[in-house]
Amino acid sequence: MILHLFHDRRALADVATLKVAIEECFGAFGLQVRESGYLYVPLAGHKLNAAKLLKHLARASCRKDALWLVDRELFYPEIGPVLGCSAKGAALLYGGLDPDVLAREALHEVGHLLSLEHCPHSCVMRLSTTPDEAREKPARLCHKCSNRLALKTGLERI
């Protein structure tokens, strides 16, 4: 699978560093990251409606697998603030998070794109709703999630 990595105008996040982190975690499962450049956010306001943006991303990326780093905080209708979110091949992430948290949440969202679900173990797929919670989890998959992904992709974990 090829993941298309888009960023917002000011590129708060270090896109090249994230590409390396994502490929380190998921490259063994056949994932490649492509830096796909700038994508305009067509919404006003201090906080971005993540549900609307996910739909926009799916259209803008022609439904390719994509992760979009945006420069404003995100909220999901009826859920509240989120660090990132994903649906059907499209994922968003707030690019202004600390680098440690950002890397973990990027891996988490990519895990969802690869059809992993939330995991209760010491694992990057553990749900975190705040930066502190995200910092407490490791920046890697647990053995269960690795094995699940290896089965799905048909590749042995390296």
50 binds Zn ion (CB under 5 A): no
Which lies closer to Zn ion via its Cβ, residue 74 or residue 142?
142
Residue 55 to residues 51, 61, 125, 140: CA-CA distances in angstroms? 7, 10, 23, 28
Residue 32 to residues 4, 73, 77, 83: CA-CA distances in angstroms? 9, 27, 31, 23
Site for Zn ion in 110-129 (CB under 5 A): 119, 121, 123, 125
* Contacting range for Zn ion; rule: CB under 5 A; set: 18-26, 61-69, 89-97, 140-148: 140-148
8-state DSSP, 63 = T
What is the crossing angle of helices 99-113 and 15-26, to 10°?
50
Three-class SS of residue 145? helix
Q: Give me the catalytic one of 24, 78, 109, 117.
A: 109
60 binds Zn ion (CB under 5 A): no
Residue 109 annotated as catalytic = yes
In whole angstroms, how close is the CB of 92 to Zn ion at the nearest point? 12
In whole angstroms, how close is the CB of 82 to Zn ion at the nearest point? 9
Catalytic (active-site) positions:
109
